[in-house]
Structure 1
Amino acid sequence: MQSEWTLSGIASFLNGTWQGEADLKITGIREIHLAGPGDLTFVANPVYSKYLKTTKASAVIVSRDLQTDFPNLIRVEDPQEAMGKLIPVFLSDRGLQESDRGIHETALIHETAVIGKNVHIGPYSVIGPHCEIGDETTIMAHVTLYDHVIIGKKCTIHAGSVLGSDGFGYTFHKGVFRNIPQRGRVILHDEVEMGAHCTIDRGSLGDTVIGEGCKLDNHVHIAHNVKIGKHCAFAGMSGVAGSAVIGNYCVFGGRVSVNGHIHVADGTQVAAMSGVSKSTKPGEILSGYIARPIHDFRREQAWIRRLPEMGELLNRIKILLKLDKDS
């Protein structure tokens, strides 16, 4: 790709509109508070609009409706998506290069595994017996797939993740924990992306399934027999307990915990550090521990903040009524 672009050329590339100096040369992209002359930056979250007054960037990508008098702009529907398209263009030497794709010589692949076309398997990764990996999937370094793990097309699994380890299945009998054999599979559908050091446990009899297009941040744990629908997102350190069923298009903030054997309905959103203890209704927004409808949580928090003044009022009432501790 060309290393030098004009403002109007980038706008055309992004299917956006430009205003300002059409032939303005753009030579790089940077964060708005670090950008300098020649750099293009962006404002996706209105919180960062304040930097438009101080940034030294030559041009800024903004939404179509953002009000600003910054001289050189590219307006698009989604500035963050637009910047995502430009990163591989201006920072083409970073990340996994197409020329480096392939199966590293240190990777251990069982003879019964089936590997699709244009699959990348990084250094010291282990692919166990009877695994299947779909076309154009990327597996980074030190990833471990136990036996019978099935991964779809165009998936990405980052370093250190483990798929197919035993689920936490035990029975307590006569004062001793006894292991329940875990013999199910792990199945990832197409275009699942998984961060570093995630763990996906195999089912006991059935399969642990992650649906198409799901995105898992670093350190996410999915327990045995969990079923997750399509296009769900889990922020870092989230965990889903065994046999829970997650619907489609659900979003979980960081450090969210989901109880086992419950159903999280389609479109559920859970705020960070919340605990989902029971099944949800479609489209619910939950927060708190234990998680409950967010409006209930906010109302409770509002009352909690008022407790000091309520305590003072109660003391004044007691004085007026001449109430003492023994009354």
Structure 2
Amino acid sequence: MGLNHGYGDFPGEADASRLLNHALDAGVTMLDTAALYGDGENERLVARAVGHRRREYTLASKCVLGMFDGKRGLDGRPEAIARTLDEALARLRTDHIDLYYLHRLDRNVPIEESVGALARAVEAGKIGAIGLSEMSAATIRRAHAVHPIAAIQTEFSPCVRNAEVAVFDACAELGIGFVAFSPVCRGLLAGAIKAADYPAGDLRGNLPRFTEPNLSHNLKLVARFDAVAADAGITPGQLALGWVLARHPFVVALPGTRNPAHLDENVAAASLSLSVATLAAVDAIFVPGALAGRRYLPAMHAQVDTELLPEEVA
């Protein structure tokens, strides 16, 4: 996503292409894009940069959440999903997407109808498996009753633990993989944020926990987290990724980066084995309610179906 959506200050085409090829060379086996990212340009970038290496990675993309008449919105109607999928296949220059997600829940369309559209796409050979993003355990179960769901993608990190309310239980019960996006909390746990001085177009400038007065409070917690990483002899980003991967055997981390060195650092985290004491030290920092500020502003949060934490309900 970050190559041309969400965080501003995007790399040029040549640098983005080098990064994606370096990822494959380093052993990365899944690339995740979406119709929303750059209004389709991210999918085109993947095709241009690594389409010739298509057999080397699992390709994931998403539908429903996108840009409509220049505005971000949702359209989970079966006909809209079918159209978005065909457009994605064209942008990706392929006839098959391995894992295709409903990016968000369109509350105006029964989940059964949206999943039914993807089930027909599986039958047609256009996609290999169905995923859901930012959806609740109840929605997951309804969707799974229509067609087996392969993966749930939701924000998850030491800072963001909504999936622990009920989604992890649903994944364990139904045999569904969990893909943790923003596992380093949008850079907060990777040494990337010291002040609210984001480039133009960076979404963090509009997220409550990344702006003042909340950010100063949260950076104090991050300083404690950084100290735990230093004691363990690893980087903060690696500590965050190692913590995420240690939660459950069905959890996969999905870190994004625009920096080849950070990519190598992230890949190395996959082989870490953190001690019980280190994991407990992280948990002691990010106790319920420790982080100040909500994940999203109300308009964006309205598109998220994942359960709220007790402190968010309060």
Establish whether TM, by shorter chain, passes 0.5: no
Higher strand share: 1
Question: TM-score, length-normalised on structure 1?
Answer: 0.22
Question: TM-score, length-normalised on structure 2?
Answer: 0.22
**Structure showing greater Rg:** 1
Question: Which structure exhibits the higher relative contact order, with contacts defined as CA atoms closer than 8 Å and separated by 6 or more residues?
Answer: 2
Higher helix share: 2
